Amino acid sequence: MSARTAGLVACRNCGQVHQIDTARCKRCDSPLQSRDAQSLQKVWAWLIAGIIAYIPANTYPMLLTSTLTDRSESTIIGGVIELVDYGAIGIALVVFVASVVIPVGKFVAIMYLAISVQRGSYRNQHGRHRAYDVVEFIGRWSMIDVFVVAILSALVQLATIATINPGIAAVSFALSVIFTMLAAQSFDPRLIWDADRTIHD
Amino acid sequence: MRVDLPHLDDLVACPQCDTLHLAADLPEGTRACCQRCGHVLMSAQKTAVARIISLALTAFVLMIAAVSFPFLALDAGGVRNATSVIDAVLAFRNGLAFPLAIAVAFFIVVLPLMRLSALIYALGPLVTGRKPRPGARVAFGLAEKLRPWSMAEIFIVGVTVALIKVAGMAAVTIGPAFWAFAGVVVITILKDQLICRYSIWEALDKARA
């Protein structure tokens, strides 16, 4: 049975169990909430912000490269194609997964979690919980591309021979990752299990 | 619904799905998982606190080395450019990207250092059997809350990707700070695996009493 059905509330920070009307944890002083009533609202707000920020992240350049002979700008996808041209298929795959597959997959997964909880679905709870764990774990890895841009722009500053500078897409991409991380953190996974019918066994 | 319950301090609720369990003493080296969703509730390792502290101290020292020594250097056509971790942060200092420079500084240097100092502050006295310092609970809670935002390991993967991108166009020299930073990453992962929230909160409770 769950703490809520037993008239109790658990601290998510330290695990201490209290009577349901307790406001703050006696052990670690965190605020207690049996369920986060605003969870879904916050999830949708952060998620939509994340999706909006992801659009300029793809259309504007991530890197501005200038060499003796020419200047070029590359977007996220452009950078991946460049790596494929070098023959670095493995690395191209890492960047593609981190900057395209993970962000888009996260948008879809968070939407699915939020919609299924809103509809009170009791199906596939284990699968949905796993999806939540994966989203929480993997979301931060999208930051790889921002760090690549940081290192490249710091390293490739060879006067007239070649310089690389960050493009504005790096900022919107970082914002998109931060917003989706906040969306995932706002989701209260206990909501997935509230529709559980086997709970009173 | 009200039922007869054991003493509240003997119960553990899964932070992920809210299922109640009775806390029991675990045999050394075993783990207890939530019956419903499988989340790890506690893992028993007697010397965990001492090992966490020693790893945290090591990582702290290495992190200082990682920000002070040269990180990478690039040579092409007689021009040389050496970069430190700080330079990587400052790559975003111009124009609209400035807030990103601050964010990157937090992700790769400030937050990892804050987490390490908070852990050392909160758990240090427990190793020698002294009472926890005031604010030890807040410090430990903070160290755990900051965990997802501390991105040293992601940075090092990003560096690898960047190295492969430039390896074709210029000669890259890897400096001591690179290895120090890689050390920070490995040690932080080992340390975080040792942290069992439940056992540490119990240890903090016992030390206070």
Least confident of A10-19, A160-169, A192-201, B65-74: A192-201
In this predicted structure, the answer to whether residue A158 has a pLDDT above a threshold of 90 is no
The mean per-residue pLDDT over the stretch A29-34 comes to 81
Residues from chain A that touch B103, judged by Cβ atoms under 8 A, are 174, 178
The residue in chain B having the minimum alpha-carbon distance to the alpha carbon of residue A178 is B149
For residue A149, the distance in angstroms to the closest alpha carbon of chain B comes to: 8
Measured distance CA(A45)–CA(A31) in Å, rounded: 22
Measured distance CA(A106)–CA(A185) in Å, rounded: 12
Model pLDDT, residue A179:
94
What secondary structure letter does DSSP report for A2?
Answer: B
Residues from chain B that touch A125, judged by Cβ atoms under 8 A, are 37
For residue A7, the distance in angstroms to the closest alpha carbon of chain B comes to: 6
Please judge whether A14 and B79 are an interchain contact, meaning their C-beta atoms are less than 8 angstroms apart.
no
Closest CA to A53 of A154, A174, A137, A184: A174
In this predicted structure, the answer to whether residue B83 has a pLDDT above a threshold of 50 is yes
pLDDT tens string A65-98: 888 788 888 888 888 888 888 777 888 888 888 8
A9 or A179: which leads in pLDDT: A179
Nearest to A150 among B88, B141, B205 (CB): B88
The mean per-residue pLDDT over the stretch B14-26 comes to 82
Model pLDDT, residue B46:
66
Model pLDDT, residue B209:
63
In this predicted structure, the answer to whether residue B182 has a pLDDT above a threshold of 60 is yes
Measured distance CA(A158)–CA(A32) in Å, rounded: 55
Confidence of residue B110 (pLDDT cuts 50, 70, 90): very high
The mean per-residue pLDDT over the stretch B183-200 comes to 87
- Per-residue DSSP letters for B75-112? EETTEEEEE-HHHHHHTT-SGGGHHHHHHHHIIIIIHH
The mean per-residue pLDDT over the stretch A29-38 comes to 80
In this predicted structure, the answer to whether residue A197 has a pLDDT above a threshold of 60 is no
Nearest to A18 among B8, B18, B201 (CB): B8
Contact B143, B112 (CB under 8 A): no
Confidence of residue B2 (pLDDT cuts 50, 70, 90): low
In this predicted structure, the answer to whether residue A118 has a pLDDT above a threshold of 50 is yes
Residues from chain A that touch B76, judged by Cβ atoms under 8 A, are 158, 161-162
Angle at A136 between CA A131 and CA A140, to 5 degrees: 130
Model pLDDT, residue A201:
40
Prediction ipTM score = 0.83
Residues from chain B that touch A8, judged by Cβ atoms under 8 A, are 5, 8, 11, 13, 20
For residue A174, the distance in angstroms to the closest alpha carbon of chain B comes to: 8
| Per-window interface: B 87-146 vs A, CB < 8 A | 87-92, 94, 96-97, 99-100, 103-104, 107-108, 137-138, 140-141, 144-145
Contact A96, A76 (CB under 8 A): no
Closest CA to B17 of A117, A140, A23: A117
In this predicted structure, the answer to whether residue B29 has a pLDDT above a threshold of 80 is no
Q: Token pair of A33, please?
A: 């909430």
In this predicted structure, the answer to whether residue B4 has a pLDDT above a threshold of 70 is no
pLDDT tens string B156-168: 989 988 888 887 7
The residue in chain A having the minimum alpha-carbon distance to the alpha carbon of residue B205 is A27
Nearest to B74 among A12, A19, A156 (CB): A156
In this predicted structure, the answer to whether residue A100 has a pLDDT above a threshold of 60 is yes
Model pLDDT, residue A196:
63
The answer to whether B162 contacts chain A (CB < 8 Å) is yes
Average model confidence (pLDDT) for chain A? Answer: 85
Nearest to B141 among A1, A13, A141 (CB): A13
Closest CA to A70 of A161, A3, A9: A161
Neighbours of B3 (CB within 10 A): 8
Confidence of residue B10 (pLDDT cuts 50, 70, 90): confident
Model pLDDT, residue B109:
93
Confidence of residue A200 (pLDDT cuts 50, 70, 90): very low
The mean per-residue pLDDT over the stretch B29-39 comes to 82
